[in-house]
Amino acid sequence: MPLVEGLQIRYMLTTSSEKADSHILSREITIALAGNPNAGKSVVFNQLTGGNQIIGNWPGKTVERTEGWIRYRGRRIRIVDLPGIYSLSTYTEEELIAREFILSGTPDVIINVIDASLLERSLFLTLQLLETEKPLVLAINQLDVAESKGLKTDVDTLSKLLGVPAVGIIATKGMGLNRLLATAIELAEKRERVVPPMYGGEIEQSLEELVRLLGEAYPEYPARWLAIKILERDEWIGKLSIPEEILDRAEEVRNKIEETHKESIEVVISSERYALASRIARSSQYYERKKRTILQNLDTVLLHPILGYVSMLFFLFVTFVALFKIGAVGSSFLEALFSNLDRFISNVSIPEVFKNLLWDGLLSGFISGITIALPYILPFYLFLSFLENSGYLARIAFLTDSIMHKLGLHGKGIIPIIMGYGCNVPAILGTRILESKRERTIVSFLSMLIPCSARTVVILGLVGIFLGLKWALLIYILDLVIIYIAGVLMNRYYPGETPGLIMEVPDLRIPVIKPTLRQSWFRIKEFLYVALPYMMLGSTMLEVIKILGWFDAINRILSPIIVYWLGLPPITGIVLIFGLLRKELTLILLSTLSGTTNFSMILNPRQMFIFSLFVTLYIPCLATIAALKKELGNITAFLLVIAEISLSLLIAGILNHLWLYIIG
Amino acid sequence: MIRPLSTLKVGEKGKIVKLVGGIGMIKRLSDLGFIPEQEVEVVRSAPGGPIAIRVKGTIYALGRGVADKIYVDDV
């Protein structure tokens, strides 16, 4: 079996080189930040690392990974911000990632960031982190918020009860962070294993027995932690090939426990953890009085069955108008800036062909990317970060959940779809907020059908001007109907099922500016890396086709579809191909090729309507395809593109023939 | 009276008696504090849509289908 042997050798090589690495870097300390979503982890992370950080994805996952470095007394400290989680089970990708990272042995110490105003629930995770027996420091965050809710926290008692150091912090104000870092590093140097928390008598007895049976067979994991996972029926245990007799014995023990409690083992163990968390929380926190804050009053309006929808529509409408205005202004400013470059290049003395390739090809692809990304996408990203970090995103998802369910989606799916009106690329990158690949695929497809700002230019510039705004509006409504039907169909025929909504609605808060800005900046950089190369390549290739004089040939090849099925003039064939680069290019190129901006000379009303509708639906632009590839993989991206082309041909063609048949 | 959480009105409280449904969902809910004996309160209800429940100081939005699977008793 040469294949297997080869694999084994490679495996051995990587492990030995990893060992060498860790030896060289032995002075480096790795700190893992763990905590619930919204506990303030990213604020702590930003405060600790300053600017030295990189954002990427966890290998092979769509979950964002943030890592940073600092120097502390001549030492290099690596800080890894783990995804926000509620538990260390295997329910979500985030939980799996956090768990793997913690258990792989890499972190020297864990900083567990806790929201002091949600102490009991936070401690539920803390207890599980302690089960892994890694050194741990508690960072009791948002002491100010807790106090405004009437909750006084006794940090020392918490520390005593859990047997680990605890530091009270207010991350947004940078308070307590130096002490937190010093405590974490001191703990990392000691390398002491922590004492795991003890649960109820019968569970402890069962665990003790399993630990005895496991012996020293799995030295890389703490035996008691393994025993808990075996008892919990954790899926991941299957990978370890644990001897049958241990699993059988665990089964017996589990059955006995389930019988006594008349509950499944998951519920029994969660209840045990919560009972302990609750005891600790009650002895270390005191409740004084309750005073409704302004944000709490605002929340009553935002989630109100009627006012909630009114305020949501108003908020979204205002934001959209603002974003479009900002985009338009920024875009024309950038274009003016770049057009100076055009003059410069035409003065350079190189052969015309190279000028065309360089300017109309490579550079115009680059410029297209920049003029879309900065003015349109960056404000959208800022808007999204604001929505996320203020807690309003969760409220929109709550309000729209019932409509979205008909499309097989959660309320959260509305967010990327809304973003699609600005640009489809952030919409597709934004599908990351959804849990399953099924949801991400459906939402990506639906977002691609949303007329982005580039397509709005075509719809308004052609149908809006020459046929009237009513007809333009009709395209938007038709588009929404198509999206709705496509969503319902995809939900019915796409295998799998969307699990019911279980989502935290965090307290409303005013977002901290720095992390919000930084997050947007990293996302926009990511967009540029994904989309720019494709746009430059595509634009150059089209220029090559132009230089080779293949336009007529392409128009002839496409004419059965363009002329007979869609009823458009042959010239639109090449125009539609260029639209792949940027949809508004279709209109610009149409006027260049026909030599007029009075489109009523070359298109009749039917053709204008069909052309605009087809441009809206026909194929995602190259940047969108690149985003699809990145988020969903090559195969799914390819299938979605094919599906969209077929859908647009079907709808535009049928409408064309209907129009011809009815109106003539 | 034991009944599904989804039938409670806004402002009503209940004590969880039992979770039914798939292991994955039960695990998730119990991780979030939806465990037997726990007191819960309905905070908001979107017409025909999800309901917002307060548990241990946190508010969660639960789809109707999820809330149907949590049985509560009077406090």
Q: Which of A93, A145, A267, A300 best probes binding to B when mutated, by most B CB atoms within 10 angstroms?
A: A267
Across the interface, do A121 and B29 touch by the CB < 8 Å criterion? Answer: no
For residue A393, give the amino acid letter: L
Give the burial string for A49-71 (b: 16+ CB within 10 Å, else e).
beeebebeebeeebbbbbbbebe
Which residues of chain A does B35 touch, with a Cβ-Cβ cutoff of 8 Å?
267, 270-271, 274
pLDDT at A270: 92
- Residue A478 is predicted with a pLDDT of 95
How many angstroms separate the CA of residue A471 from the nearest CA in chain B? Answer: 34
Q: How far is B65 from chain A (nearest CA, A)?
A: 6
Distance from A139 to chain B by nearest Cα, in Å?
19
Between CA A5 and CA A8 the distance in angstroms is 5
| Helix (H), strand (E) counts: chain A | 30, 10
Residue type (1 letter), A498: T
How many CB pairs below 8 Å do chains A and B form together? 115
Q: Are the C-beta atoms of residues A230 and A209 closer than 8 Å to each other?
A: no
The residue of B20, B28, B55, B60 whose CB has the most chain A CBs within 10 angstroms, and thus the best one to mutate to test that interface, is B28
Phi, psi of A431, deg, nearest 5: -65, -5
pLDDT at A25: 45
pLDDT value for A62:
59
Q: In what order do the strands lie in the sheet with A64-72?
A: A53-57, A64-72, A75-81, A29-35, A109-115, A136-141, A166-168
Provide the pLDDT for residue A483: 93
Q: Does the distance separating the beta carbons of B26 and A264 come in below 8 Å?
A: yes
Q: Is A406 exposed, middle or buried (0-12, 13-18, 19+ CB in 10 A)?
A: exposed
Q: Which residues of B touch A505 (CB under 8 A)?
A: 52, 59-61
* Closest residue in chain B to residue A92, using alpha carbons only: B28
Structure tokens at A204: 């402890």
Mean pLDDT for the stretch of residues B36-44: 93
Task: Give A-chain residues touching B28 at CB under 8 angstroms.
Answer: 91, 502
| Block residue for tokens 């075996």 | A230
pLDDT at A486: 92
Residue of higher predicted confidence among A355 and B58: B58
CA angle A546, A547, A552 (to 5 degrees): 45
Instruction: Find chain B residues with C-beta within 8 A of A233's C-beta.
Output: 23
Q: Tens digit of pLDDT for each residue in A14-38?
A: 333 344 444 444 578 999 999 998 8
Option in B45, B61, B65 nearest A503 (CB): B61
**Interface with chain B: mutation pick from A271, A276, A502, A508, highest number of B CBs within 10 Å:** A502
Lowest-confidence region among A345-354, B2-11, B19-28: A345-354
Mutate to test the interface with B, among A395, A505, A507, A508 (most CBs of B within 10 A): A505
Q: Residue A285's beta-bridge partner residues?
A: A153
Element of type H or E holding A29: strand A29-35
Task: Give me the domains of chain A, ranges plus CATH numbers.
Answer: 201-287 (1.10.287.1770), 307-503+514-662 (no CATH)
pLDDT number for residue A138:
96
A547 contacts A357 by C-beta, under 8 angstroms: yes
Rounded CA-CA distance A98/A82 in Å is 6
The reported pLDDT for the residue numbered A243 is 84
Residues in chain A with CB shorter than 8 Å from the CB of B47 are 305, 402
What is the distance between the alpha carbons of residues A390 and A411, in angstroms, rounded to a whole number? 17
The neighbouring-strand residues paired with A504 are B60
What pLDDT score was predicted for residue A59?
Answer: 66
How far is the C-alpha of A403 from the C-alpha of A416, rounded, in Å? Answer: 15
What's residue A14's pLDDT?
34
Give the torsion sign (CA, A399, A400, A406, A410).
negative
Ranges of residues in chain A whose predicted pLDDT is under 70: 1-26, 51-52, 55-62, 105, 290-291, 372-373, 498
Helix axes A223-231, A265-284, angle to 10 degrees: 120
- CA of B36, closest CA in chain A: separation in Å? 8
Q: What is the pLDDT of residue A17?
A: 38
Pairing of strands A166-168, A136-141: parallel
Interface of B with A in 14-73 (CB under 8 A): 19, 23-33, 35-38, 43-50, 52, 56-66
Name the residue in chain B with its Cα closest to that of A274: B33
Q: Which of A274, A401, A405 sits opposite B33 (nearest CB)?
A: A274
Helices (H), A449-549: 453-458, 465-466, 469-493, 513-548
Domains of chain B, earliest start first: 3-73 (2.30.30.90)
Residue A624 Cα, gap to closest chain B Cα (Å): 32
| CA–CA dist A664, A660 (Å, integer) | 4
In Å, how far is B57's CA from the nearest CA of chain A? 6
